[in-house]
């Protein structure tokens, strides 16, 4: 005859194992661990489905982030392209990333560019770019290289969880698993033509079709 004490102990251990497994599954669902990775990679791959011509801007170089950045940001998808303005021949460098909220949120130009021999020349500003579907806002920061005033350039950046783009203070604390980020740079020109603003106005309507 089975020992009641041993049998009871076995039932208790089995119940504990079941509870442990269930708690692991619940935690995995809550932190997004069980999300279908293939779906996120497909969404990330769709970011590259852009025409080579965006309004007055033409693609002159397409590519991706370097391997170190990809590993650090853990992107599901990204691109890093160069476009040229037809009339002024101005170049802008643009990167779009989609990945886990934490690493996508914390790396800002103020931190990244400061380690590359550049100096921030003014406080960041909020810039607005409107499309037919939504009103978007981005941070803009100005830098110089090697203290040379003629080398001034602007960097614009912002985040989205699938809707409008936001010049957010703390995107790391948004209630979303994943984030999109745009970061682009172009020359700082003292005229009514702002390369970064002009390019974003051309890019965003197309990008809206691929983020969700």
pLDDT digits (tens, 9 = 90+) for 131-145: 999 999 999 999 988
Q: Assess whether pLDDT exceeds 50 at residue 33.
A: no
Instruction: Say if 61 falls within a structural domain.
Output: yes
Name the DSSP class of 48. T
H or E element that contains 24:
helix 4-30
Q: Is the pLDDT of residue 53 over 80?
A: yes
In a domain, 4, yes or no: yes
Q: What is the pTM of this model?
A: 0.78
Q: Check residue 111 and give its pLDDT.
A: 72
Residue 121 lies in a domain: yes
User: Total structural domains in the chain?
Assistant: 2
In this predicted structure, what is the pLDDT of residue 23? 52
- Look at residue 17 and tell me if it is in a domain: yes
Do 13 and 52 belong together in one domain?
Answer: no
pLDDT at 173: 86
Residue 159: is its pLDDT beyond 60? yes
Q: Residue 88 falls within a domain, yes or no? A: yes
Residues 161 and 136 in one domain: yes
Distance CA 44, CA 79 (A): 9
User: Over 50: is that where the pLDDT of 85 sits?
Assistant: yes
Identify whether 168 is part of a domain. yes
Q: Which domain holds residue 125?
A: 37-207
In a shared domain, residues 83 and 147: yes
Is there a single domain that holds both residue 30 and residue 110?
no
Mean pLDDT of all residues in 57-68: 90
State yes or no: pLDDT of 12 exceeds 80. Answer: no
Same domain, 76 and 169: yes
Say yes or no: 87 and 11 in one domain: no
Question: What 3-state DSSP class applies to 140?
Answer: strand
Biggest alpha carbon–alpha carbon distance for the chain: 93
Residue 161 pLDDT exceeds 80: yes
- 160, 208 contact by CB (below 8 A): no
Instruction: State how far the Cα of 41 lies from the Cα of 100, in Å rounded to an integer.
Output: 12
Residue 212 lies in a domain: no
- Average pLDDT, whole number, for the chain? 83
- pLDDT tens sequence across 105-128: 887 887 777 666 788 888 999 999
Residue 31, pLDDT score: 45
pLDDT band of 4, cuts 50, 70, 90: low
203 vs 150, higher pLDDT: 203
Same domain, 22 and 127: no
Residues 44 and 133 grouped into a single domain? yes
pLDDT at 39 over 90: no
**Whether 57 contacts 83, CB under 8 Å:** yes
Residue 144 and residue 74 in one domain: yes
Q: Using alpha carbons, select from 167, 174, 159 the residue that is nearest to residue 124.
A: 167
Q: Are residues 173 and 112 in the same domain?
A: yes
Indicate whether 112 and 69 sit together in one domain.
Answer: yes
Return the closest-CA partner of residue 80 out of 178, 184, 159, 166.
184
Residue at 69 is within a domain: yes
pLDDT band at 5 (very low <50, low <70, confident <90, very high): low
Q: Which of 127-131, 142-146, 166-170, 191-195 has the lowest mean pLDDT?
A: 142-146
Residues 124 and 30 in one domain: no
Question: Tokens 């700082």 map to which residue?
Answer: 188
């Amino acid at each position: 005859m089975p020992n009641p004490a041993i049998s009871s102990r076995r039932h208790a251990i089995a119940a504990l194992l079941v509870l442990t497994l269930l708690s692991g599954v619940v935690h995995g669902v809550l932190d997004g661990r069980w999300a279908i990775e293939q779906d996120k990679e497909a969404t990330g791959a769709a970011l590259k489905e852009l025409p080579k011509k965006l309004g007055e801007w033409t693609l002159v170089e397409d590519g991706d982030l370097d391997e170190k950045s990809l590993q650090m940001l853990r992107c599901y998808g990204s691109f890093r392209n160069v476009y040229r303005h037809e009339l002024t021949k101005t170049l802008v460098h643009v990167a779009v990333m989609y990945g886990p909220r934490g690493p996508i949120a914390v790396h800002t130009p103020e931190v990244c560019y400061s380690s590359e021999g550049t100096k921030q020349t003014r406080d960041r500003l909020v810039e607005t770019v409107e499309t037919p579907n939504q009103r978007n806002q981005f941070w803009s920061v100005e830098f110089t290289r090697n203290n040379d005033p003629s080398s001034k350039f602007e960097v614009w950046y912002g985040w989205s969880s699938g809707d409008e783009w936001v010049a957010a203070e703390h995107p790391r604390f948004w209630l979303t698993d994943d984030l999109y980020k745009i970061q682009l740079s172009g020359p700082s020109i003292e005229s009514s033509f702002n390369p970064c603003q002009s390019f974003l106005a051309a890019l965003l309507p197309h990008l809206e079709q691929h983020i969700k």
